[in-house]
Amino acid sequence: MPTTPSRRFSPRATATVVALALLLVPAVASAAEPWERNPAFLDKREPVPQAAASQASGRDADGGLVAVARKQGSIRVLVELDVPSTAATAGSDAAASTALAAVQDAVIAATFGASPSATSAGAASEAGIRRYEIIPFLSLTVTPAELERLIADGRVLSIQEDVPAPPLLHDSIRIVRADKAQDASFNGRGFAVAVLDTGFDTKHPMLKGRIASEACFSTNARGVSKSLCPGGKSKAVGSGAARNCATSISGCDHGTHVASIAVGGSSRRTGVAPGADLVAIQIFSRFDKKENCGSRPAPCVLSYTSDQIAGLEHVYKQRKKDNIAAANFSLGAGAYEKACDKVVPAFTDIVRKLKDADVATVAAAGNSGLDKAISGPACVAAVIAVAASTDRDKVASYSNYGALIDVVAPGSEILAAVPGGYATLSGTSMATPHVAGAIAILREAAPSASFSDIQQALVETGKRVRRGDRSKPRIDVDAARKLLQAEAGS
């Protein structure tokens, strides 16, 4: 089969990242693409710092949310709720769920004048309502007047703009010495990697027979986006749910490529952990307007933060059934020099829950070539942030870098699967699944190792690579395996 021609992208063209509502940390780069700005955010628990920040930056005291809503006519938001501590008092998951649902119902009713569920299912869909089950949040699409009611609601703690953006875009397996771990009979067997991306060619030779489960979380927003889930629904779970979107849509080859790097295996190519399974989760929506797609051809795929969080809740619920070792996010947005936990509270909450359950969340640093800042969600402290290197063990020029980087992995000129064939792509998107696959191998090699143990082993044993005055560890899978096994006495 002929090889698909190599495709190279400029740093700007490869900045295919998923936007999060990050406002409190100033951007350090101009927004050349729609998803490169830091979205609006309001934390009602810190009125004085917020107001001061607003005056300093020229933003309104509402975090800029109302201005965005007025300009667009509506705004999608993630809403943090003040839920009574019923669960802690009663010690019951059922009590916690009941308390959360009650607050969600009350806020929806106060915002829209009546609960959409009390009128029609169509009303709830039109309002873009997504109820989270594990973290105290709610996702809504609101008008300026409805947003004002949300801001005034005492049950609302913070409001984060939900902005869509696209996915990020030699023998890399040899470079990270995953082949040596495979030679020692460790290939991720018995574990799975969840890849949250644009959908997957599940019949591709590198992925066929490797699918543990499928799910889809996508958004219909009238005049803005269309769901890519089967039947145009906002959620789907089961066989076919994470089907690959049409390759005529820009970005729809991304998920297959990323997944095959992490867990792919065929007679032609082998990923990092070819013995591991794939939990395939589609979290992107279709956008037809050039104003949303930026420099990428329209139609394109972009992902709402609200769909990403829904995908992570699914990972949390599936973690034991599918034995998930890591969740891969080859996406991101914005530019942050410091940890961004406080300005992405919903994402931070679910990632911390996954970390406590020893499921690693791994995210791409971004492709804007920044030296002191990285994208979100890699900027969340509980996320393993991954920069990209070349096959000469140099930090790639397009890769974001900085103090928040945890590890480095190959991301340049990576040949892997795309729907119907193979292609060579470059980006921190390609570096990230090297780490997710490595974690599956390390979980197999050292089953008792915790999230922190594995992360520390990757950091301690990695080969130091440098850009400017900062060096970070490029992962060495086999060295990390040996260290963990020695510590476990096996």
Q: What residues are labeled active site?
A: 197, 254, 429
Cα distances from 107 to residues 74, 85, 110, 163, 395, in angstroms, run: 18, 17, 5, 21, 47
Q: Do 307 and 285 meet the contact criterion of CB atoms below 8 Å apart?
A: yes
DSSP letter string over 70-102? HHHS-EEEEEEE---THHHHHT-HHHHHHHHHH
Per DSSP, the chain holds a count of helices (H) and strands (E) of: 16, 22
Amino acid at 315: V
- Bond into 166 cis (ω within 30): no
Instruction: Name the one residue in this structure whose structure tokens are 């972009």.
Output: 302
* Strand order through the sheet with 285-287: 225-227, 285-287, 300-302
Amino acid at 191: F
Alpha carbon of residue 41 to chain centroid: 19
Two tokens at 187? 């290939």
Beta-bridge mates of residue 225: 221, 287
Coil/strand/helix, residue 459: helix
In 354-469, which ranges are E strands?
A: 360-364, 374-376, 384-389, 407-410, 414-418, 421-425, 463-467
